[in-house]
């Protein structure tokens, strides 16, 4: 009879000296549980060994005799060939596979690609290990988030998680990124067989390289505020170029900054700087608004003054032209009369001007013709009126 030896897995006391009482009690329970399981398994094995020994060695065993009588009339060879045929049929049917809508299958026969673009539907290839199909969804948009600090891995075979992206900007400032990349498979063959690392890891490495490269040439203010959209477009283009260089078969759909921010140690100072810049922009906008409200009014006033000046100038010009026309008319009239043309006109004009100047300062007394006046009274400023003669005044 076979015997089962149960191994005692209890931890020696020498290894428990530094453990707490709760841990010791828990380990004692675990040890007793393992011992009970081991003993139960040992009993089952012992019973099976007893049955097997009695079945094989005891010729008078009724169970053995009953089995022999039950299967004695069956043709063992036919049954064997039936099982072989069934196994062969199942083996050949294992080559049947389906491709769902939006998927492409790449079939390999004896390790070589025999069909690189199997479309949706029910298909057949040689059973394993002679044939194998790899199905890739080319319409699914995959997503990778890079830059988060997570304790748990983002993929089962990538224990480090998505990691953190921290790079230097063009003006030597530190910038932390959280980048979200969406991509899909463009070429199933290159996607499956041209790289020896996981595709998601290739995407992450590409985005890290592109972010580091572009950030080194752009100031931090442009990264965080001014040229953020332009950087995203450049980042997508640069990343796509890297993936095509690697012949990855991946097409980048979109790249977006979920976060782009300075480190925590300088975040407050950076926020103060941004607030000051916002205040500056606000003041500039207010000044521009005031300018836009004042300039139209000033332009209107200037236009009005200019129009008034133009009207006054036109009036002066018209008046001067009128005076000139009048003078020209008089001149023409003077030239027609030869008696007053020449020196007589000038002499007469000088006489009139002289008389005008003299008469302004001379007191004039008018007396009747043939009348009499007392000169003493005239000197005293009195006007003497004589009786008018028949000839009137002179």
Q: Where along the chain do its domains lie?
A: 1-73, 95-137, 142-262, 363-394
Buried b (16+ CB within 10 A) or exposed e, 225-252: eeeeeebbebbbebbbebbeebebbbbb
> Coil, strand, or helix at residue 130?
coil
pLDDT higher than 50, residue 21: no
Task: Say if residue 137 is exposed, middle or buried (CB neighbours under 10 Å; 0-12, 13-18, 19+).
Answer: middle
pLDDT tens column, 341-391:
555 667 777 888 888 888 877 777 777 777 676 666 655 554 444 444 444
pLDDT grade for 174, boundaries at 50, 70 and 90: confident
Tokens of 205: 């490495």
Alpha helices in 143-226 (DSSP H): 188-193, 199-215, 220-221
What is residue 67's predicted lDDT score, i.e. its pLDDT? 63
Q: For residues 140 and 375, which has the higher predicted lDDT (pLDDT)?
A: 140
What is residue 379's predicted lDDT score, i.e. its pLDDT? 55
What is residue 183's predicted lDDT score, i.e. its pLDDT? 92
Q: For residues 22 and 309, which has the higher predicted lDDT (pLDDT)?
A: 309
What is residue 13's predicted lDDT score, i.e. its pLDDT? 44
Any residues with CB less than 8 A from the CB of 253 and at least 6 apart, and which?
141, 182, 183, 184
> Coil, strand, or helix at residue 227?
coil
Q: Pick the range with the lowest mean pLDDT from 13-22, 41-50, 339-348.
A: 13-22
Q: Report the CATH architecture of 142-262.
A: 2-Layer Sandwich (3.30)
pLDDT higher than 70, residue 216: yes
pLDDT grade for 127, boundaries at 50, 70 and 90: confident
What is residue 5's predicted lDDT score, i.e. its pLDDT? 39
What is residue 391's predicted lDDT score, i.e. its pLDDT? 44
Q: For residues 347 and 216, which has the higher predicted lDDT (pLDDT)?
A: 216
pLDDT tens column, 271-328:
777 678 778 888 898 888 888 888 888 888 888 899 999 999 998 888 888 888 877 8
Task: Indicate whether this model's pTM tops 0.75.
Answer: no
């Amino acid at each position: 009879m076979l015997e089962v030896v149960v191994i005692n897995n209890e931890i020696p006391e020498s290894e428990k000296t530094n453990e707490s009482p709760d841990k010791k009690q828990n380990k004692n329970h675990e040890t007793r549980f393992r011992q009970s399981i081991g003993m139960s398994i040992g009993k089952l094995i012992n019973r099976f060994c007893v049955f097997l020994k009695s079945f094989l060695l005891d010729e008078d065993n009724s169970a053995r005799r009953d089995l022999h009588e039950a299967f004695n009339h069956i043709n063992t060879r036919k049954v064997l060939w039936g099982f072989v045929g069934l196994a062969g049929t199942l083996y050949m049917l294992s080559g049947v596979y389906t491709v769902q809508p939006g998927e492409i299958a790449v079939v390999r026969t004896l390790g070589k690609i025999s069909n690189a673009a199997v479309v949706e539907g029910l298909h057949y290839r040689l059973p394993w290990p002679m044939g194998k199909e790899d199905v890739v969804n080319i319409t699914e948009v995959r997503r990778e988030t890079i830059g988060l600090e997570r304790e748990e891995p983002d993929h089962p075979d990538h224990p480090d998680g998505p990691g953190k992206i921290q790079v230097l900007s063009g003006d030597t400032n530190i910038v932390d990124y959280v980048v979200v990349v969406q991509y899909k498979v463009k070429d199933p063959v290159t996607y499956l067989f041209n790289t020896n690392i996981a595709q998601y890891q290739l995407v992450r490495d590409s985005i890290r390289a592109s972010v580091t490269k572009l950030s080194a040439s752009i100031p931090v203010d442009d990264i965080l505020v001014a040229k953020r959209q332009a950087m995203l477009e450049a980042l997508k283009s640069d990343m796509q170029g890297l993936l095509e260089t690697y012949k990855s078969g991946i097409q980048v759909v979109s790249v977006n900054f979920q976060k782009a921010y300075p480190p925590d140690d300088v975040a407050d100072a950076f926020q103060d700087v941004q607030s000051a810049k916002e205040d500056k922009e606000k003041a500039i906008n207010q000044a521009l608004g005031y300018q836009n409200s004042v300039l139209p009014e000033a332009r209107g006033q200037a236009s009005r003054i200019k129009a008034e000046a133009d009207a006054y100038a036109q009036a002066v010009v018209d008046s001067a032209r009128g005076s000139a026309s009048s003078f020209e008319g008089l001149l023409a009239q003077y030239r027609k009369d030869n008696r007053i043309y020449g020196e007589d006109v000038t002499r007469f004009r000088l006489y009139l001007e002289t008389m005008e100047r003299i008469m302004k300062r001379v007191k004039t007394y008018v007396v009747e013709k043939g009348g009499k006046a007392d000169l003493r009274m005239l000197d005293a400023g009195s006007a003497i009126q004589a009786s008018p003669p028949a000839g009137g005044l002179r």
